[in-house]
Amino acid sequence: MVVKHKVSVIGGGSFGTALAQLLADKGEDVSLWIRNKNEREKIAASMENEKYLQGIKLSKTLVFPSSMKEAIENSDFIVMAVPSASFRSCLSEIKSYGLEFNNKIFINVAKGIEIETLSLLSQVAKEEIPDIRFGVISGPSHAEEVARRIPTTVVASSEDTQVAKEIQNLFFTDRFRVYINSDIIGVQLAGALKNIIALAAGICDGLGYGDNGRAALITRGLAEIVRLGVAMGADRETFLGLTGVGDLIVTCTSEHSRNKRCGYMIGSGYSTEESVSKIGMVAEGIFAIKAAYKLSEKLSIDMPITENLYKVIEDELKADEAVDILMGREKKHE
């Protein structure tokens, strides 16, 4: 007998909507909470998230509660699909409802680091709700393809193996394959830091550079990610898997990558603010650059791509000047 779960997806962006659709197609009881009332009512009426997933008709079984409390109070799973910068405040609001959380599993899908504290989002979750049952999903998974049921493979991770298995079972379909990885530090860092390299890849494209430069950037970017990850307690092998190399490749090369598109605008001569505005969605890499740069200084980790990219988005360097600095660094072994 198939057990139907009650799932609440918090956040109506592209990935939140795509995951809600995936789970509804699977037969789960899914609520999609969208804070903006006008957007919520528009999507509920048309059954299409025209802003983020144009052309994708949503399942008629999806429901759109009028309050977040209504969405989550009877849920088995709560999928947190809000930007990393909003993660703590959203959890704090959920905590204020005074609900019992020991029978719920929280699943975060945002890929970021909290700038103010340099904390991973799993650490933020524990600070806000100490007894939280928490896991993450990460990997090469553009929402546009997930929503169209194009084969996708991701990783579920949690400090609690049973939680990871329950997340795996919830999302696993014939078009959405889910592996388990117990290294939640590495999985989160890989997901957050790859956005930095995707921004850099977009900048290179905007400057008119070619495949050689992009390949070098991805490879040396991975080296930086691994150095910081290992220093923070992650398993080196994690960065060679789906959440590392896999997500890095897709984010640095795909037309769906908002971070790459944002970088392209910067490389084409637009300011960081103009580039983010033109994308019209949150580019997590902008926040990740700032956090990673601070972490590299705190831990004394050599991250030249991140350092120079940070100076570009802070208007301390022009993009082509940053490339010249990186190419002119002293000779060394790989």
pLDDT one-digit tens code per residue, 297-323: 999 999 999 999 999 999 999 999 998
- What is the rounded distance in angstroms from the CA atom of residue 109 to the CA atom of residue 193? 14
* pLDDT, tens digit (0-9, with 9 covering 90-100), for 192-209: 999 999 999 999 999 999
Give the percent of the chain with pLDDT over 70: 99
179 vs 175: CA distance, rounded Å: 13
The pLDDT of residue 285: 87
Banded model confidence at residue 280, pLDDT cuts 50, 70, 90: confident
The answer to whether the CB of 138 falls within 8 A of the CB of 187 is yes
pLDDT higher than 80, residue 225 = yes
Q: What is the distance between the alpha carbons of residues 12 and 21, in angstroms, rounded to a whole number?
A: 11
Phi/psi of residue 74, nearest 5 degrees:
-110, 20
User: Residue 1: is its pLDDT beyond 70?
Assistant: no
Q: Which of 104, 111, 194, 260 is catalytic?
A: 194
DSSP state of 245: I
Exposed, middle or buried: residue 130 (CB in 10 Å: 0-12, 13-18, 19+)? Answer: exposed
pLDDT digits (tens, 9 = 90+) for 239-274: 999 999 999 999 999 989 999 999 999 999 999 889
Residue 96 pLDDT > 70: yes
CA pair distance 83, 162, nearest whole angstrom: 26
C-alpha span between 40 and 49 (Å, rounded)? 9
d(CA 123, CA 296): 19
CA triple 208-51-56, angle to 5 deg: 100
DSSP string, 171-213: H--SSEEEEE-S-HHHHHHHHHHHHHHHHHHHHHHHTT--HHH
- Nearest to residue 81, comparing CAs of 120, 111, 49, 108? 108
Phi, psi of 203 (to 5 degrees): -60, -45
Residue 57 among the catalytic residues:
no
Report the distance separating Cα 211 and Cα 303, nearest Å.
Answer: 22
Q: What 8-state DSSP symbol labels residue 127? A: H
* pLDDT in the model for residue 276: 86
Q: Rounded to an integer, what distance in angstroms lies between the CA atom of residue 56 and that of residue 49?
A: 7
Q: How far apart are CA 214 and CA 208, in angstroms?
A: 11
Question: pLDDT tens for residues 153-173?
Answer: 999 999 999 999 999 999 999
pLDDT at 2 over 70: no
What is the average pLDDT score of the chain?
94
Is pLDDT larger for residue 2 or for residue 260?
260
Looking at residue 330, what is its pLDDT?
82
In this predicted structure, what is the pLDDT of residue 331?
82
Q: How far apart are the C-alpha atoms of 247 and 195, rounded to whole Å?
A: 9
User: Rounded to an integer, what distance in angstroms lies between the CA atom of residue 18 and that of residue 142?
Assistant: 9
Whole-angstrom CA distances from 40 to 16, 60, 66, 108, 201 are: 13, 15, 8, 21, 34
- Residue 284 is predicted with a pLDDT of 85
Q: What is the pLDDT of residue 329?
A: 84
The continuous run of DSSP H or E covering 94 comes out as helix 84-95
pLDDT class for 334, splitting at 50, 70, 90? confident
Q: What domains sit in the chain, N to C, each tagged with a CATH number?
A: 6-182 (3.40.50.720), 185-327 (1.10.1040.10)
**Are the CB atoms for 276 and 286 separated by under 8 Å?**
yes
